Amino acid sequence: MEVKVPFYNILNMFLTGLVFIGGCLIIFPDTAVALFNSDIIENLGAGPEIVVTICTFAVAYEVGLIINRTGSVVLEPLLKRTKLIPFNDNYTLFNQKKKEYPIMNTLSREYALSRTGVVLFLSLLILSAVEGKCSLVAICAVITGIYFLSCRKHAGKIVELMQNG
C-alpha cells in the first residue's frame, strides 16, 4: 500500500514550523545567539551542514505538525463547545455536499489553515507575554484575532452549504 502525503500538507506543516521557530528566535534572541555560539555548533565542522539542514527541516516539519494537531484536537473542540464557531459534525452530509459543491474542499482546507494559524500565533503570544515583550504580544494578538475571524468565516460557510445547499 502506497501512502502519499500531499504537497500542501508538507508545505503547511513546514511553513508553520518555520514561522514558530522564527518567532522563538525573535522572542528569545539571547538563547538563539548562545545556541549558535555553543560548542556543539562549533564542533560540527564544515562537513555535516547538510545533516544540520535536513535536521532543521525535519524539526520545523514536526513542530508544524504538532501545532496543526493541537488545533484539531484541542482548539477545535473548545471552539465548538463554547459555540465561538458554527460547526456541523455530520461527516456523511459533508461528504455528500462536497460532491455537490467542490468549493467545500477549499473551504475545509482554509478552515484548517486558519485554525492552525490561531494556535501558532496564540502560542507565540503566550511566549511573548512570558518574556514581557509587550509589542510582540500586541502583534500576535492582532494576528491571532485575524486567524480566528477567518476560521469562523470558513466554518460558517461550510455549515451554510451543508444546511441550505
- Answer whether residue 157 is part of any domain: yes
What pTM did the predictor assign? Answer: 0.86
- Answer whether residue 116 is part of any domain: yes
Which residue in 121, 161, 160, 152 sits closest to 139, CA to CA?
121
* Structure confidence at residue 141 (pLDDT): 98
- Answer whether residue 33 is part of any domain: yes
More confident residue, 163 or 47: 163
109-146 per-position pLDDT tens digit: 999 999 999 999 999 999 999 999 999 999 999 999 99
- Answer whether residue 2 is part of any domain: no
- Answer whether residue 84 is part of any domain: yes
80-114 per-position pLDDT tens digit: 999 999 988 888 888 888 888 889 989 999 999 99
Count of the separate structural domains present in the chain: 1
**Helices 7-27 and 49-70: angle between axes, nearest 10 degrees:** 100
Q: SS3 for 106?
A: helix
Q: Which helix (H) or strand (E) holds 81?
A: helix 76-81
Range of the domain at 79: 7-163
Share of the chain residues as helix, strand and coil, in percent rounded to the nearest 5: 80, 0, 20
Give me the percent of the chain exceeding a pLDDT of 90.
61
60-82 per-position pLDDT tens digit: 999 999 999 999 999 999 999 99
- Answer whether residue 19 is part of any domain: yes
- Whether 42 has a pLDDT exceeding 80, the answer reads no
- Answer whether residue 1 is part of any domain: no
- Whether 46 has a pLDDT exceeding 60, the answer reads no
